[in-house]
């Protein structure tokens, strides 16, 4: 069967093939999650505009709270949602594992795409709210915005992936990831008096810590936790046989 022969290059992927692979991955990601994300940011943008149009200080304050909500717990939620479905539940998981590019490459490409989508929505939303005159914090600046966005994104995406890899179920994985976010939202009032806990609130910016001096420590702590989760994910992906059904 000579017609099956392939003698082409296998080592380095040309740019146009990378673009093609990216396009395929984009089509294989859950489009409705992206639609939900775009709609979420769009509706939030409209609400902020509506509040700003009312003009009073109270409405401006509300616009700020809503903006901070979208760029922190909102981003975190979407990041967890997108990361939990990156690989677990893929109908061709075992076949993908047995290819020479393997699982890592697929996860990284899809993570990159999800990250880009979320970043794009967040940038547009941020630009829109800043143009409307929304104040995020007294200490706001490029680094503040970067860390404000990056910390919940990194932590929640790594938690979403970790949850799905541990449970081998995307929905359970997302639930596991969302628990700390929900706990941070609802327990802040009760626990904010304990200073030692401040670095661990995922929603510190939204919950009122945006101007606190320990906000920077909070962001760095969350990023460190995200790095820890990333290490766990790397370890789990190395043990890929865990993802297959046993005893078959």
Query: Which residues here bind another protein, judged by CB under 8 A?
Result: 1, 3-14, 16-17, 20-21, 24, 27-28, 91-92, 94-102, 105-106, 238, 240-241, 244, 246-248
Instruction: Report in angstroms how near the CB of residue 17 gets to another protein at its nearest.
Output: 5
Is 3 or 57 the residue whose CB approaches another protein more closely? Answer: 3
Instruction: Report in angstroms how near the CB of residue 75 gets to another protein at its nearest.
Output: 27
* Residue with the two structure tokens 């005159």: 133
133 dihedral zone (left: phi>0; alpha: psi -120 to 50; beta): left
Instruction: Report in angstroms how near the CB of residue 148 gets to another protein at its nearest.
Output: 35
| Closest of 105, 61, 39 to residue 208, by C-alpha | 61
Instruction: Report in angstroms how near the CB of residue 82 gets to another protein at its nearest.
Output: 17
3-class SS letters over 131-198 = HCCCCCCCCCCHHHHHHHHHHHHHHHHHHHHHHHHHHCCHHHHHHHHHHHHHHHHHHHHHHCCCHHHH
Instruction: Report in angstroms how near the CB of residue 31 gets to another protein at its nearest.
Output: 8
Q: Could you tell me if 151 and 223 are in contact, meaning their C-beta atoms sit under 8 angstroms apart?
A: yes
Answer positive or negative: Cα dihedral of 193, 213, 202, 128: positive
Is 54 or 238 the residue whose CB approaches another protein more closely? Answer: 238
| Closest of 132, 159, 152, 127 to residue 142, by C-alpha | 127
Is 24 or 190 the residue whose CB approaches another protein more closely? Answer: 24
Is 71 or 93 the residue whose CB approaches another protein more closely? Answer: 93
Rounded to the nearest 10°, the torsion over CA 206, 212, 213, 215 is -10
* Residue with the two structure tokens 């700020």: 64
Is 53 or 99 the residue whose CB approaches another protein more closely? Answer: 99
Instruction: Report in angstroms how near the CB of residue 92 gets to another protein at its nearest.
Output: 7
Degrees to nearest 5, angle at CA 178 with 128 and 60: 30
Is 97 or 130 the residue whose CB approaches another protein more closely? Answer: 97
């Amino acid at each position: 069967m000579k017609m099956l022969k392939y003698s082409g290059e296998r080592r380095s992927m040309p740019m146009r093939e990378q673009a093609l692979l990216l396009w395929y991955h984009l089509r294989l990601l859950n489009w409705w999650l992206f639609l939900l994300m775009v709609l979420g940011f769009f509706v939030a943008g409209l609400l902020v505009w509506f509040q700003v149009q009312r003009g009073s200080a109270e409405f401006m304050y509300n616009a700020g709270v809503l903006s901070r909500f979208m760029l922190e717990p909102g981003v975190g939620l979407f990041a967890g949602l997108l990361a939990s479905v990156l690989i677990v539940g893929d109908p061709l998981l075992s076949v993908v594992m047995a290819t020479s590019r393997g699982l890592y490459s697929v996860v990284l490409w899809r993570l990159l795409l999800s990250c880009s989508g979320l970043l794009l929505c967040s940038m547009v939303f941020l630009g829109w709210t800043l143009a409307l005159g929304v104040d995020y914090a007294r200490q706001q600046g490029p680094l503040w915005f970067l860390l404000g966005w990056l910390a919940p994104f990194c932590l929640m995406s790594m938690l979403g992936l970790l949850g799905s890899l541990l449970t081998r179920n995307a929905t359970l994985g997302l639930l596991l990831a969302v628990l700390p976010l929900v706990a941070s939202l609802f327990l802040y009032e009760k626990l904010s008096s304990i200073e030692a806990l401040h670095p661990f609130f995922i929603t510190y910016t939204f919950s009122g810590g945006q101007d606190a001096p320990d906000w920077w420590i909070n962001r760095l702590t969350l990023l460190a936790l995200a790095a820890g989760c990333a290490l766990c994910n790397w370890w789990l992906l190395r043990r890929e046989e865990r993802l297959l059904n046993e005893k078959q």
